[in-house]
Structure formats: C-alpha cells, structure tokens
Structure 1
Amino acid sequence: MADRILRRPEVELLTGLSRSTLYAMIAEGSFPEPLRLGRRAVGWRESVVEEWIGGRAPAGRSSIVAR
C-alpha cells in the first residue's frame, strides 16, 4: 500500500502540535522535515509521522515514577 502524504493541518491534528511548535521542532531537528510538494506546498509521509508519534514517551500517569 502506498504511503499517504499528510498536509500540515492533518499533522497538527495527529500530533497535537501547533504550527509554530511543529516548525520550531523541525528547526531543532526533533521532528521530521517535510517533503517539498510544490513551490509553496509541503507534506509528510504518514508512516514517518506515525513512527515519530510511536517513538514519543508515553504521557499521563504511566510515565510518572511512584515514590
């Protein structure tokens, strides 16, 4: 099956990141760079975004160490 190309609004929804945070993380190298789709259009491979999400530390109580 072919990898879908996700545009920025969909990446924001999937990751919960705002546009400014997304681009700040790209600049610091902590989020994958987008593919250039045209002169003014970019997108991300769905598999790359899903892999990035899967590699994040779990959120919530499960990540808190009990003392």
Structure 2
Amino acid sequence: MTTSKNQQIENQRLIRRKEVQTKTGLGASSIYAMMKNGEFPECLNLSERRVAWIESEVDQWIANRIAQHKATNAVMEA
C-alpha cells in the first residue's frame, strides 16, 4: 500500500490529547499509563505546558491494535 505525498504530509502533523483520545477511544489517564509502560507513542513537548503526539505514530499504533485483534480472532476461529 503506497501513501500519497499529501497523505504523508498530513500524517506528519502534531495532534493534541483531545484528538488522540477521539482517535483511540482512550482516556487521558490510560494514554499516560500506556506511555509510561512503553505501550503507546510518546508525546513531545511543545512548550512548558503543552504536549502533542505525531499523528502518524498514533495511526500506526491504531493499525497495530487492529492487526492484533484480527490475528487473535483468526487463531480463535481456527
């Protein structure tokens, strides 16, 4: 699957916590707990009180979760 140049640029944008929560369905405390355990992409500091995530990293995390789900279901059905 190839990604267009526009889509690559779009996925390089920084997204704030509220958008990460919307995309993943996770709450803030779950996001930070999973980050601490190395189970979720790290945020980067924009300023002293602002953080953001790289959208493509969050999208990849979502894709990995979906793949794990499908693999688990395939094993259970076999």
User: Same fold judged by TM-score > 0.5?
Assistant: yes
* Distance in 2, Cα, partners of 1:27 & 1:34: 11
SS at match of 1:43: strand
Cα deviation for residue 46 of structure 1 reads: 0.6
What runs of 5+ residues in structure 2 fail to find an aligned partner? 1-8
Cα deviation for residue 13 of structure 1 reads: 0.6
* TM-score w.r.t. length of structure 2: 0.73
Cα deviation for residue 63 of structure 1 reads: 1.8
* TM-score w.r.t. length of structure 1: 0.84
The answer to which structure has the higher helix fraction is 2
- Structure 1: 4+ residue segments shifted above 4 A: none
Q: Which residue of 1 aligns with 2:73?
A: 63
* Distance in 1, Cα, partners of 2:73 & 2:51: 34
Cα deviation for residue 66 of structure 1 reads: 3.4
Higher relative contact order (CA 8 A, sep 6+): 1
Report matched runs for 1:34-53 at 5 Å: 34-53=43-62
% of aligned pairs identical?
42
Q: How many residues align?
A: 65
